[in-house]
């Protein structure tokens, strides 16, 4: 019953509460890890072995862009030769790189290629879908400060499409007031390709755990990033690792599965992941416990369950991708206990694939919850009067945003009468989501 990846808004699914979620669910591999590992393999000397790449649109988009640079067969047999070239394109011919809707791919490639050396080919990064409306002005300013001259659409500083003739990467890079951790990661990869250098950040660093993830991946490829305050010193040469690089299960997807155990009153295990992961979103375990749910890390994997029994106050500055999932948990905690919850650290949410903070407030309000918001916070303060009305079906629109669709699916497991539009948008990171949600116990109808 899985909808096609490119279905329009007419691709509707209706989610009803079913049995309490139970059992084990293998979630897709981490697209954040996979994209960083693929870029590391592309830039490193030697041949890397990468296993467990998830089959989703974001990873496919980066892989396609790298194959445009390296040759159509790059990585087709699971081996990824570093610094490859197909030997067929003049350095003066512009490479057109389609990155789909992947903000990670767009930012990492923009930073790495713009500072890849004056002898390299010019390039043009082309977005699709929701990425057309997103931007990364701090990254573009940093590239211009470094001597590059990226060209972006007039009137939309830092957006894509982005064209550039590469320049040599200077030893010192400065990033001012970043909007995304991916901007830091892009410049760290550029310095790693150079072999040494220092990145200085002025202003707050958003989603710092994702920077830690980049540091961990670079360490796998032989490059150390030493952080002192907001100064990042890069040391070492990118070299293919000995042995196979494996892609962990995605902690953001795991959070959805684990929350399904909680909102349904069941118990779910996600194998292959534990609380020591470099992925910051494993903090979902801590957050679920704050709502009174059971959440433990066992040798078998991460396990969570039990209805949310109380409200909570959470700071999600380090893991804002968890906000849609935890807003649903907060809403159902309010429904069960009457207690309010507050989520803070959400200042980057409206710059994601959709305006997530606005979308969460709008959707919960439509369903009857009392919700307030500020520029970087959301509070769920009262439940719908009278609870759910099984005779009424409410359409919710994720606006092309996979994480909002996941959240609406979870909400349907605990609140009767939700129909979700544009259901195919989940293909960005989890193409089999609706089937997996049904496997966990939800009643999912086309």
Distance of CA 153 to the CA centre of its chain: 25
Q: Write down the pLDDT at residue 331.
A: 96
C-beta neighbour count of 323 within 10 angstroms: 25
Q: Write down the pLDDT at residue 3.
A: 35
**Same domain membership, residue 221 and residue 181:** yes
**Same domain membership, residue 60 and residue 23:** no
pLDDT tens digits, one per residue of 279-317: 999 999 999 999 999 999 999 999 999 999 999 999 999
The domain that contains 342 carries what CATH number? Answer: 3.65.10.10
Query: Does some domain include residue 331?
Result: yes
Query: Does some domain include residue 6?
Result: no
C-beta neighbour count of 284 within 10 angstroms: 26
Q: Write down the pLDDT at residue 417.
A: 76
CA-to-CA dists, residue 212 to 183, 209, 217, 304, angstroms: 13, 5, 9, 25
Quickly state the pLDDT bin for 1 (edges 50, 70, 90): very low
**Same domain membership, residue 35 and residue 22:** no
Buried b (16+ CB within 10 A) or exposed e, 205-220: bbbbbbbbbbbebbeb
Number of domains in the chain: 2
| Active-site residue identified among 281, 321, 401, 436 | 321
Quickly state the pLDDT bin for 85 (edges 50, 70, 90): low
Please state the rounded mean pLDDT for residues 38-55.
96
Bridge partner list, 174: 200
**Which residues neighbour 88 within 8 Å (Cβ) at sequence distance 6 or greater?**
none
Q: Model pTM?
A: 0.91
Select from 236, 265, 291 the last residue of a domain: 236
Concatenated DSSP letters of 67-109: HHHH-TTTTTTSEEESS---S-S-TTSPEEEE-TT-HHHHHHH
**Same domain membership, residue 342 and residue 200:** no
C-beta neighbour count of 228 within 10 angstroms: 8
Select from 173, 205, 236 the last residue of a domain: 236
**Same domain membership, residue 172 and residue 312:** no
Q: Write down the pLDDT at residue 5.
A: 39
Q: Write down the pLDDT at residue 116.
A: 95
Coil, helix or strand for 437? helix
Phi and psi at 199, nearest 5°, equal: -110, 125
Please state the rounded mean pLDDT for residues 406-434.
93
Coil, helix or strand for 148? coil
Residue 375 burial by Cβ neighbours in a 10 Å radius (0-12, 13-18, 19+)? exposed
Our answer to whether residue 397 is catalytic in this structure is no
**Same domain membership, residue 415 and residue 320:** yes
Q: Write down the pLDDT at residue 153.
A: 87
**Same domain membership, residue 289 and residue 195:** no
Quote the percentage of the chain above a pLDDT of 90.
85
Query: Does some domain include residue 426?
Result: yes
Q: Write down the pLDDT at residue 91.
A: 58
Give me the domain span that covers residue 133.
31-236
**Which residues neighbour 439 within 8 Å (Cβ) at sequence distance 6 or greater?**
23, 25
pLDDT tens digits, one per residue of 377-408: 999 999 998 655 555 678 999 999 999 999 99
Query: Does some domain include residue 205?
Result: yes
Q: Which of 161, 192, 213, 412 is nearest to 318 (CA)?
A: 213
pLDDT tens digits, one per residue of 351-368: 888 999 999 999 999 999
**Same domain membership, residue 143 and residue 279:** no
Q: Write down the pLDDT at residue 180.
A: 94
- Between 9-13, 15-19, 141-145, 325-329, the lowest mean confidence (pLDDT) is in 9-13
pLDDT tens digits, one per residue of 212-230: 999 999 999 999 999 999 9
pLDDT tens digits, one per residue of 30-45: 999 999 999 999 999 9
**Same domain membership, residue 83 and residue 23:** no
Select from 236, 265, 300 the last residue of a domain: 236
**Same domain membership, residue 162 and residue 25:** no
- Between 150-154, 166-170, 285-289, 356-360, the lowest mean confidence (pLDDT) is in 150-154
| CA-based radius of gyration for the chain | 22
**Same domain membership, residue 373 and residue 351:** yes
**Same domain membership, residue 190 and residue 175:** yes
């Amino acid at each position: 019953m899985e909808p096609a990846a490119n279905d329009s808004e007419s691709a509707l699914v209706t989610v009803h509460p079913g049995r309490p979620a139970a059992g084990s669910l293998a979630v897709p591999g981490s697209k954040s890890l996979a994209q960083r590992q693929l870029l590391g393999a592309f830039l490193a000397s030697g041949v890397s072995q990468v296993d467990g790449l998830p089959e989703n649109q974001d990873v496919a988009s980066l892989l396609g862009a790298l194959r445009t640079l390296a040759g159509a067969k790059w990585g087709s047999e699971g081996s990824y030769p570093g610094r490859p070239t197909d030997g067929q394109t003049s350095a003066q011919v512009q490479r057109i790189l389609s990155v789909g809707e992947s903000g990670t791919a767009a930012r990492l490639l923009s930073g790495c290629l713009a500072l890849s050396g004056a002898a390299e080919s010019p390039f043009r990064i082309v977005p699709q879908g929701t990425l057309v409306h997103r931007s990364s002005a701090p990254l573009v300013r940093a590239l211009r400060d470094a001597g590059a001259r990226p060209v972006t659409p007039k009137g939309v500083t830092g957006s894509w499409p982005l064209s550039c003739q590469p320049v040599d990467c200077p030893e010192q890079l400065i990033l001012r007031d970043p909007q995304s951790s991916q901007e830091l990661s892009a410049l760290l990869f550029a310095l790693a390709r150079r072999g040494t250098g220092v990145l200085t950040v002025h202003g707050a660093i958003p989603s710092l755990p994702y920077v830690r993830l980049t540091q961990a991946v670079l360490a796998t490829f032989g490059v150390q990033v030493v952080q002192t305050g907001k100064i990042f010193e890069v040391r070492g040469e990118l070299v293919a690792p000995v042995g196979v690089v494996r892609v962990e299960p995605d902690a953001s997807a795991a959070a959805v599965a684990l929350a399904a155990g909680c909102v349904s009153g069941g118990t779910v295990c996600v194998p292959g992941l534990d609380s020591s992961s470099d992925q910051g979103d494993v903090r979902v375990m801590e957050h679920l416990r704050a709502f009174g749910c059971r959440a433990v890390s066992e040798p078998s994997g991460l396990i969570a369950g039990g209805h949310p029994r109380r409200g909570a106050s959470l700071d999600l500055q380090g893991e804002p991708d968890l906000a849609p999932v935890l807003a649903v948990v907060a809403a159902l905690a309010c429904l069960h206990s009457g207690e309010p919850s507050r989520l803070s650290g959400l200042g980057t949410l409206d710059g994601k694939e959709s305006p997530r903070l606005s979308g969460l407030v709008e959707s919960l309000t439509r369903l009857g919850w009392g919700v307030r918001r500020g520029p970087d916070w959301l509070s769920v303060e009262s439940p719908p009067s009278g609870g759910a009305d099984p005779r009424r079906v409410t359409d919710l629109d994720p606006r092309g945003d996979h994480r909002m669709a996941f959240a609406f699916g979870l909400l349907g497991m605990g609140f009767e009468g939700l129909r979700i539009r544009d259901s195919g948008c989940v293909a960005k990171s989890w193409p089999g989501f609706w089937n997996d949600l049904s496997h966990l116990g939800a009643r999912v109808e086309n």
